[in-house]
Structure 1
């Protein structure tokens, strides 16, 4: 198991760089009216609307919650390496990560739906290129993963309870 920690940390670093890079580039375009993607929308003094900025901030918040949740999981890999499966900290880690995954999935998915409605109803096409920092299927997967982690934490908690009862009877 120890052999997997280095590749996991490297992949996590790539994930953080990619997400923070996307958020930074989009923020420069939306909040500083700099045409990073050369879309031509800022040529005539166009400024991104408040609703696009709010949708972007919700998506960025969801992605940052996702990074934090993955960080919590990686930080607690030591319990899995030591095969300490019934540790209360590990159970709390899975529970907290599951809640964060689920909540970030909901926030991101709702922000994506608002982005679609922004195009369909308000017809605000101007800065849509800067909102493409996510995928709706990613957010659905995060919700599923969140449920799985919550369920897994309940299983580990029940296993911990049985282990403690078993230790008391011996």
Structure 2
């Protein structure tokens, strides 16, 4: 929101619109997040200062306070281990899990999956890594109006599908 205030949609759409290499965007995001202190009561202003000082990606056009973090962070209490873990795709390369959930929140993700060229589309390769880590179950979350298209795409490729 801060670096691309006029954009709608998630990072995939910004990457496509500005023709940014997904690897560069991911490395920049991870480096920025890694540079932040652990959340505490006055965390928001520190994040804001860090955002303003961070070198922008190509095409970024911050506009004043748009995208500024608001409110106080929710500081969670430590929870006992449940046997579940969350990772981003880049953390699980070469690893496996009984179940994997891939979130595709941007409209048009199913169409992209169906028609884009994995040889040139880094995002498709990342999605492939995610779903191939699953030993027993790969769940894909898409906008509700895209569930039928995803079910058809997977069924055409003889992938068992259950829409819930």
Q: State the TM-score, normalized to the length of structure 2.
A: 0.26
Higher strand fraction (1 or 2): 2
Q: Which structure: larger Rg?
A: 1
Larger RCO, structure (CA 8 Å, separation 6 or more) = 1
Provide the TM-score with structure 1 as the length reference: 0.26
